[in-house]
Amino acid sequence: MTQPLLSLRNVEKHFGTVRAVDGFSLDIQENEFFALLGASGSGKTTLLRMLAGFETLTGGEILLDGKDISQVPPNRRPVNLMFQSYALFPHMSIAQNIAYGLEMEKCSKSEIKRRVGEMLEIIQLSHLAGRKPDQLSGGQRQRVALGRALIKRPRLLLLDEPLGALDKKLRGDMQLELKRLQHEIGITFIIVTHDQEEALVMADRVAILKDGKLLQCATPRDIYEHPNSRYSADFIGVMNFLPATLRQGQVIAANGQPVAAQLPEGLSEGNDVVVAIRPERLQVAAYRGGGGPRGRVLATAYHGLDLQLHLQTNLSSEPITVRLTAQEAEQTALSEGDEVELGWNAKDTRVFAA
Amino acid sequence: MQDRKPLYLMTPALAWLTAFMVIPCLLILALAFFRRGLYGGIEYTFTLENLALVFDPLYAGIFLKSAWIAGLAALIAVIIGYAAAFAIAAAPSRQQPILLFFAVLPFWSNYLVRTYAWIVLLNREGLITGLARWLGYDAELPRLLYTEGAVVVGLVYNYLPFVILACYAPLSRLNPEIAEASRDLGASGWTTFRRVVLPMTAPGIATGFVFVFVLSIGNFVTPALLGGGQFQMIGNLVYAQFLTANDWPFGAALSMILIAIMMGLLTLQTFATERASGAKREGS
Amino acid sequence: MASLANPRLMLVILAAVFAFLYVPISVLVALSFNEGGLPTAWTGFSTKWYGELLRNGDIMSAAFNTLVVALVSTALATLFGSLLAVGVEIRRRKGRFLETIIFAPMIIPDIVLAIALLSFFSLLNVTMGLHTVILSHVVFNLAFVCSVVRARLKTFDWSIVEASTDLGASMPVTLFRIVLPVMLPAIIAGALLAFTLSVDEFIIAFFTAGAGRDSITLPMQIFAMIRFGVTPEINALATIVMAVSVVALTLSQRLNRGGLPGQ
Ligand SMILES: Nc1ncnc2c1ncn2[C@@H]1O[C@H](COP(=O)(O)OP(=O)(O)OP(=O)(O)O)[C@@H](O)[C@H]1O
Ligand SMILES: [Mg+2]
């Protein structure tokens, strides 16, 4: 087993009574593209600032290449932060902004010139080298901020919601761009986002934070398929939740019917639970008089090739979402108002405490 | 980083302020409690005589006169200044900064020169006399310069820009919809002004009044130049203790009184501001 | 406000107030160019009174002294005041005591500060002269510079300071290469303000300049001259002094975009 690039050991940061980061451990490998995902106030920025050295830890330690860097000041860490606001120096040109970090390393003039040229090439801004930041578009600024951090060849690049300020279309382009750059340059990225889709598209691994705690850390696919809590299940992708109770080793839905579900460990008789099922794991068919779960189509909506059905069912008061592929949709040919029956496999469900 | 580093940035300035403001001010505070030496020096024995002397009837006249002139100047300055600030705030918003700039500009030019300008206007061979002659008024004009009136005019003239500034701040922050709401509820323009606008802008008026009052009562230049030394303000009295009478402890005690008046008024003003903002909360 | 205002009345008020503010100084300026020098009769345009000023040794030496005082005290105040502003604004916590100390030089009546400094210097047996005037002027100048710079810092994007640190710069390097250039317009605006304040300051200089004739500043000279009445020379001198303030303040306001201090 290779040594992880970065190890967080029980790191915590308290601001008075606020536990912004509440003691967790995490390993990040070399060349990983790692995403921190969480609602506003969950401690993402605080964690990044601790890694960059702008916040002192109230507990725990941070190891980079096996060495504790908690006491190293921010300007001596081989870690760079790309700020949410980009924080470009307004009085310097693009080229000067990018050169700044190398000047601090006392690189020779010729080396700075060469590397700045290369970086401008990489971020595709060579033609704008002489401009000031306020003469750039949002996407261009974002690339300058990225180039300015990347040129230092940090061991670790931290990005705080780098795409937050961009519009949806540009954000999509930039996600691919970031991924390409990370691949090309081979630097470990930790990116903060509260856009789950963004995390899924870009990251090798995702950590879900809530109130300063680490809920789950796994590949996007793992979190999607095997969420370990109701919160993570809800956070990534669309999820249906059916309220239910555990009775006599069975999961009983709100209408009193037993439903198919994978029985969880650690929950006991009489507990209130929720059954989580992904929309694409549900099967529907026109109602033929069975006694199983049934419902009525409230609305249909196309999402690309998929058809989404919203059903009012006898299982919960909340509508349930079902996703059908184009093929399935054609076969079942359902439309608004139709009565349907629905089913699923127990192995596709997750049951969490309510 | 946020809390440790700034210390060395602040040290030179804070050291300077400590050495040349805090310590000297504490020093005169202490001086006020020492005895005057036989030949004008200071005798280091504790006494309350100086403070008692301040309240001696001998000086009551000067105090009352100072307060009267300063109060009159402050009142006139506040009336004119508020009207001007109101007119500026009512102007199209693009013009407001320009108007304000020109209203304040004189404030930052030399005080002596601005006072001198009134000597030019008011003196016996001055412009106003000339104008009166030119208009055919041949009788002897009453004396203009070296009067109480001249001093008040000079003080108002010098401090007016400050009052305009102080009154403009709350007026410009006032949400026009509040006045409109009052009109909408059936209040007349005057009632709206009296019941809504005036209470909400009172802190500015108070600030203006306090500063004109304090700066006037401690002034010795204007009474000397426009009053011709006819009468004394507290400022002149302080001046005299230090430069002619050589009674420093008494001068120090007098300046303590100045500071006390200022602090007292500022506290009152803070109190008034809080009440006004309380009224604002009730109103919204 | 507009909804409550009678436009014609507002116009009358503005005209009256601006006339009150500007007629007296305009008269002064006009008279300084009056050939005859008398306020009662215009005898033709001339700049001869300005020439007279140049030949008046007392005035020239006072002007020189004032220039020395203003330049040195402005330089010191700009350095200290700007650093102070940055130091205060970098802190997250604001101390009431600190605020009071920084604010005090702007509101203490001049005469109080003047006698306090006079007592202080004499008790320490310091020989007074231009140097003591400079020491004293720095007190209020630095407070004004600090307030102008702080006003600008309120809209300053502190993340660029962290960005600079993150890219490897030490604190002094960051101050010099990032904070200083970005803040320069406000710092110059503060310096210009300090310069005019110092050029115009009379009371504190009067008390702390000592008795020597060679430490008389321009305002002290003007005060002495005014007491003996109106002369065309003073008109010319007053015009120049006002022009210096107006130019410096207009520049300051331009640089600062935020208007005059307090505005
Ligand atoms: N300097 C500070 N002083 C006190 N509390 C702070 C400070 N910085 C952050 N906090 C608190 O710590 C918690 C985590 O804040 P943080 O900025 O890390 O959240 P975040 O996950 O980045 O949120 P967002 O998505 O909104 O950026 C919040 O409750 C916040 O109020
Ligand atoms: Mg954040």
| Domains of chain C by residue range | 57-255
Task: Give the residue from chain C lying closest to B175, CA to CA.
Answer: C1
- What is the Cα–Cα distance from B104 to C252, expressed in whole angstroms? 13
At A279, is the secondary structure helix, strand, or coil? helix
Q: Ligand 1 pocket, A313 CB below 6 A? A: no
At C215, is the secondary structure helix, strand, or coil? helix
3-state helix, strand, coil in chain A (%, to 5): 30, 35, 35
Chain A interface test: which of C157, C159, C166 (most A C-beta within 10 Å)? C166
Rounded percentage of chain C residues whose pLDDT exceeds 70: 94
Which residue puts its alpha carbon closest to atom 7 of ligand 1? A15
Which residue puts its alpha carbon closest to atom 8 of ligand 1? A46
- What is the Cα–Cα distance from A62 to A47, expressed in whole angstroms? 11
Rounded percentage of chain C residues whose pLDDT exceeds 90: 52
Give me the residue from C40, C111, C119 closest to B218, CB to CB.
C111
Which residue puts its alpha carbon closest to atom 18 of ligand 1? A43
- Partner B, chain C 22-81, Cβ-Cβ below 8 Å: 22, 24-25, 27-28, 31, 38-40, 79-81
Structure tokens at C210: 């000592």
Cα of A62 vs centre of ligand 1, distance in Å, is 20
User: Do B116 and C238 make contact, defined as CB atoms within 8 angstroms?
Assistant: yes
Tell me what pLDDT residue C94 has.
Answer: 67
CB < 8 Å to A105, chain C: 168
Q: Ligand 1 pocket, A53 CB below 6 A? A: no
Q: How high does pLDDT run on average in chain C? A: 88
Q: Ligand 1 pocket, A45 CB below 6 A? A: yes
Tokens 């500009």 belong to which residue?
B105
List average pLDDT for each run of 10 residues in chain B, which is 284 residues long.
Answer: 64 94 93 79 79 82 89 96 92 89 87 90 79 76 85 94 90 76 71 79 86 87 86 85 86 88 82 63 40
At C224, is the secondary structure helix, strand, or coil? helix
Right CATH number for A238-353 from 1.10.3720.10, 3.40.50.300, 2.40.50.100, 3.30.1360.120? 2.40.50.100
Going by C-alpha positions, the residue among C252, C228, C223 that lies closest to residue C238 is: C223
CB within 8 A of A250, min separation 6: which ones? A258
10 Å CB burial of residue C41 (0-12, 13-18, 19+) is exposed
Phi, psi of A187 (to 5 degrees): -120, 145
DSSP per residue over chain B, as a string?
-TTTTHHHHHHHHHHHHIIIIIHHHHHHHHHTTEEEPTTSSEEEEE-SHHHHHHTSHHHHHHHHHHHHHHHHHHHHHHHHHHHHHHHHHHS-TTTHHHHHHHHHGGGGS-HHHHHHHHHHHHSTTSHHHHHHHHTT--SPPPP-SSSHHHHHHHHHHHHHHHHHHHHHHHHHHS-HHHHHHHHHTT--HHHHIIIIIHHHHHHHHHHHHHHHHHHHHT--HHHHHHSTTSS--HHHHHHHHHHTS--HHHHHHHHHHHHHHHHHHHHHHHHHHHHHHHHHHHH-
Helical (H) or strand (E) element with A351: strand A349-353
At A67, is the secondary structure helix, strand, or coil? strand
Dump pLDDT digits (tens) for C11-65. Answer: 999 999 999 999 999 988 988 898 887 766 778 888 888 998 889 899 999 999 9
Tell me what pLDDT residue B164 has.
Answer: 93
- What is the Cα–Cα distance from A330 to A316, expressed in whole angstroms? 27
List average pLDDT for each run of 10 residues in chain A, which is 354 residues long.
Answer: 85 90 91 91 92 91 91 90 90 94 93 94 90 90 90 91 78 83 87 85 90 91 88 86 85 84 78 87 84 85 83 86 84 83 87 83
On whether any CB of chain A is under 8 Å from the CB of C88, the answer is: no
Q: Ligand 1 pocket, A210 CB below 6 A? A: no
- Under a CB-based contact definition with an 8 Å cutoff, are residues C81 and C146 in contact? yes
- What is the Cα–Cα distance from A103 to A108, expressed in whole angstroms? 8
Q: Ligand 1 pocket, A42 CB below 6 A? A: yes
Dump pLDDT digits (tens) for C160-211. Answer: 999 999 999 998 899 899 999 999 999 999 999 999 999 999 999 999 998 8
Helical (H) or strand (E) element with A341: strand A339-343
CB within 8 A of C51, min separation 6: which ones? none
Q: Ligand 1 pocket, A18 CB below 6 A? A: yes
Question: What number is the ipTM of this complex?
Answer: 0.89
User: How far does A145 lie from chain C, in Å, by closest CA?
Assistant: 10
Which residue puts its alpha carbon closest to atom 24 of ligand 1? A40
At A311, is the secondary structure helix, strand, or coil? strand
Closest-approaching ligand to the CA atom of A38:
1
Alpha-carbon dihedral of residues A324, A327, A332, A337, nearest 10 degrees? 50
Q: Side chain identity at B69, as an amino acid letter?
A: I
Residue-wise burial string across A3-16, b where 16 or more C-beta atoms lie within 10 A, e elsewhere: ebbbbbeebbbeee
Q: How far is CA C218 from each of CA B164, C52, C201, rounded to the nearest angstrom?
A: 29, 16, 9
Tell me what pLDDT residue B120 has.
Answer: 86
Annotation: CATH topology of A6-230:
Rossmann fold (3.40.50)
Q: Ligand 1 pocket, A54 CB below 6 A? A: no
Closest-approaching ligand to the CA atom of A194:
1
CATH architecture of C57-255: Orthogonal Bundle (1.10)
Ranges of each domain in chain A = 6-230, 238-353
Tell me what pLDDT residue B278 has.
Answer: 58
Strand order in the sheet with A320-324: A283-286, A339-343, A294-303, A306-313, A320-324
- What is the Cα–Cα distance from A285 to A141, expressed in whole angstroms? 51
Helical (H) or strand (E) element with A98: helix A94-104
Tokens 């290449």 belong to which residue?
A65
Structure tokens at B131: 């104008």
Helical (H) or strand (E) element with A22: strand A18-28
Q: What average pLDDT does the segment C213-217 reach?
A: 90
Which residue puts its alpha carbon closest to atom 3 of ligand 1? A15
Task: Give the residue from chain A lying closest to C167, CA to CA.
Answer: A101
Does pLDDT of C117 surpass 70? yes
Dump pLDDT digits (tens) for B70-106. Answer: 999 999 999 999 999 999 998 888 889 899 989 988 8
Alpha-carbon dihedral of residues B116, B119, B120, B122, nearest 10 degrees? 150
- What is the Cα–Cα distance from B113 to C28, expressed in whole angstroms? 9
Closest-approaching ligand to the CA atom of A16:
1
Neighbours of chain A (3+ CB pairs under 8 A): C
On whether any CB of chain C is under 8 Å from the CB of A148, the answer is: yes
On whether any CB of chain C is under 8 Å from the CB of A104, the answer is: yes
Instruction: Give the predicted TM-score (pTM) of the model.
Output: 0.79
Q: Side chain identity at B141, as an amino acid letter?
A: L
Neighbours of chain B (3+ CB pairs under 8 A): C
Q: How far is CA A289 from each of CA A233, A341, C184, rounded to the nearest angstrom?
A: 33, 8, 81
Ligand 1 atom closest to A55 (CA): 1
Tell me what pLDDT residue A63 has.
Answer: 93
Cα of A44 vs centre of ligand 2, distance in Å, is 6
- Under a CB-based contact definition with an 8 Å cutoff, are residues B14 and B7 in contact? no
Q: Side chain identity at B138, as an amino acid letter?
A: D
Task: Give the residue from chain C lying closest to B92, CA to CA.
Answer: C2
Residue-wise burial string across A180-197, b where 16 or more C-beta atoms lie within 10 A, e elsewhere: ebbeeeebbbbbbbbbbe
Tell me what pLDDT residue B277 has.
Answer: 61
**Measured distance between the N- and C-terminal CA atoms of chain C, rounded to whole angstroms:** 19
Interface contacts B/C by beta carbons within 8 Å: 278
Ligand 1 atom closest to A43 (CA): 18
- Under a CB-based contact definition with an 8 Å cutoff, are residues B182 and B150 in contact? no
